[in-house]
Chain A
Amino acid sequence: MKHLIPEFEKWKRRFPAGYESSLVMPCVRRIQEDRGYVADSDIDGLVEYLGVSRMQIEEVLSFYTQFRRKPIGRWHVQCCRNVSCSMLSAEKLIDHLAKKLGVAPGQTTADGRFTLSTVECLGSCGTAPVVVVNDTYHENMSVAKVDVLLEGLK
């Protein structure tokens, strides 16, 4: 994470001095974007840089579902399964994705290309059902559209 410190330093200028722990969430997120997950050495680096306890970082990492300690597939395919999406056939979509990728939700394909997850409401219920790949929302999905989408992910 050391190479990210100049970026963190820039953020710091706008943060209230003396309340450095409000940088924990942004820093952890940036580290994960950079490496794909958060490694032990990143935690060491953050403890030193922000002056917060190792316990605090570990607690944060285990509490939030989006943070991870291990790498996942190149494409993280996340399908919403909350109320509005389920009412517009999300369950069929999840079954289709699982069959097509040959993995159950929570698993990664053997070639490391895809990780399939089910997620809760994504704040996009008006364009349900919704599939998010890495950071990008794909709205008004259908089985046919999912097939086209997967084709494009190499």
Chain B
Amino acid sequence: MPGRQLIMNFPVTATSHALADYRARGGYQALPKALAMPPQDVTKEVTASGLLGHGGAAFPVGRKWQVIKLNDNQPHFLCANADEGEPGTFKDRWILEHAPHLLVESMVITSYALQVRHAFVYIRGEFDLPYRRLAGAIEEAYAEGLLGENILGTGFACDINVIRGAGSYVCGEASGLLASVEGKRGYPRNRPPRLTVKGLFQRPTVVNNVETLSNVAGIITHGVEAFRQVGLPKCPGTQLVSISGHIEKPGVYEVEYGYPLQKFLYDDCGGILGGKKLKCIIPGGISTKVLTAAECEPLTYDKESLESAGSSLGSGGMIVIAEGTCMVRLLQVMLRFYHHESCGQCTPCREGMGWLHRIIDRIVGGQGRPEDLDRMIAISKLNDGTTICGMGDAAGYATVGILAKYRDEFEYWIEHKRSRLDGNLEAIAHA
């Protein structure tokens, strides 16, 4: 195991998602404890824990929650982000399928802290079993007085509704998500005003990732000190890492921050598929910058270490790429995706994604021109900071990252009108 565990700390069985099992392993002890505290003290605890957001930006949770004013005489909303759309990421699904009550309990606590009467979970439309598990857990919670009116006899009332998405990557972006919950197109919007000031239906709203919220119950049960003992002082706790691609043992692993990356890849995950050599990894979903095998060597798995190498934790969706993989074709797959998912509101993103996609298709089609690579970099940089949401930036970073490190593969394809690596995306032949 890659370090200590806070979330995946129980064996998965046929009933481990159910309320009885969750209670048997200590679940729903945090809720009465939190409800006996003044709400602002719950926020204080979470702030003191140093918990960071797990949705991609590693934003401190307490700083977001503190913006909500408890006595401002208007409704507040909470939305759990279960859109899990960042390619390479499948960890929130683990929580929804195996520990849905951890999310439900944490959301009731969070709702109490922020004085939220109606909370939402926005879950991607394709997730079927995760949705059914979550909906089942919510019904169990209502039946036992853990949700609804007068929770545990304290007078606190809270409802959780699940909204299912319908196939849109930008709806994972917090403001796009809220637009979708409002029953509109999932267009992200400019800040300010921040969502914590004017969010869902123009009311103060907190949006947090599923995994982020799922840490709250444990912080309340075991206390701030216990949480801070895990991980690093500046980056406490753990991250659910979804690892996929050319790796022997893909899956979801809970990694304690500060754990050595090589040890994780080779000891915990069984090394590179088919005993191949590592070419590079994309550490946190395709929107994070690629790290070459050599760059990975000294790293530990935490915010500071990955950022020191020019990348980031992102969503924890780690994609492992073996030697022999064609980076031109890989970038082509990524750019097709970004082009398809651009919502079209911002010119640099809408047009830029189209240009990048067309250029890479042209290169792969043997019609590339030497000036194409610099053009791609220039287009990517046009997006930097000029778009409403992070997607324009992210697509640009991903493109610049791959071009900076594997430019020779692109030049070879342009010059010889074919891939140096046979356009290969597969490390080993699959049936």
Contacts and interface: CB of A to CB of B under 8 A. Distances in A.
A15 interface: yes
Contacts of A86: 329-330, 333, 425
A33 to B, nearest CB: 10
A37 interface: no
B325 interface: yes
Contacts of B337: 82-83, 120-121
A111 interface: no
Contacts of A50: 183
Interface centre among B118, B124, B181, B183 (most CB of A within 10 A): B183
B185 A91 contact: no
A144 interface: yes
Contacts, number: 161
Given A82-B333, A123-B124, A89 B88 contact: no
B200 to A, nearest CB: 8
Chain B interface size band reads 35 or more
Contact of B118 (A15, A121, A123): A15
A67 B166 contact: yes
B168 interface: yes
A8 B393 CA distance: 40
Contact of B427 (A26, A87, A121, A123): A87
A63 B186 contact: yes
A16 B126 CA distance: 25
Contacts of B425: 86-87, 91
A125 B116 CA distance: 34
B32 interface: no
B251 A24 contact: no
Chain A interface size band reads 35 or more
A59 B430 CA distance: 42
Interface string B182-194: 1111100000000
Interface in B173-207: 180-186, 201
Nearest to B430: A89
Interface string A78-92: 000111101111011
Contact of B87 (A22, A25, A120, A127): A120
B418 to A, nearest CB: 17
Interface string A35-75: 00000000000000010100010011001111100000000
A150 interface: no
Contacts of A91: 425
A121 B242 CA distance: 13
B270 interface: no
A25 B181 contact: yes
A19 B185 contact: no
A45 B81 CA distance: 30
Among all A-B residue pairs, the 9 with the closest Cβ atoms:
A24-B183, A64-B166, A125-B244, A89-B430, A121-B87, A65-B167, A21-B183, A66-B167, A66-B166
Interface of A: 11, 14-16, 19, 21-26, 28-29, 50, 52, 56, 59-60, 63-67, 81-84, 86-89, 91-92, 119-128, 132, 135-137, 142-144
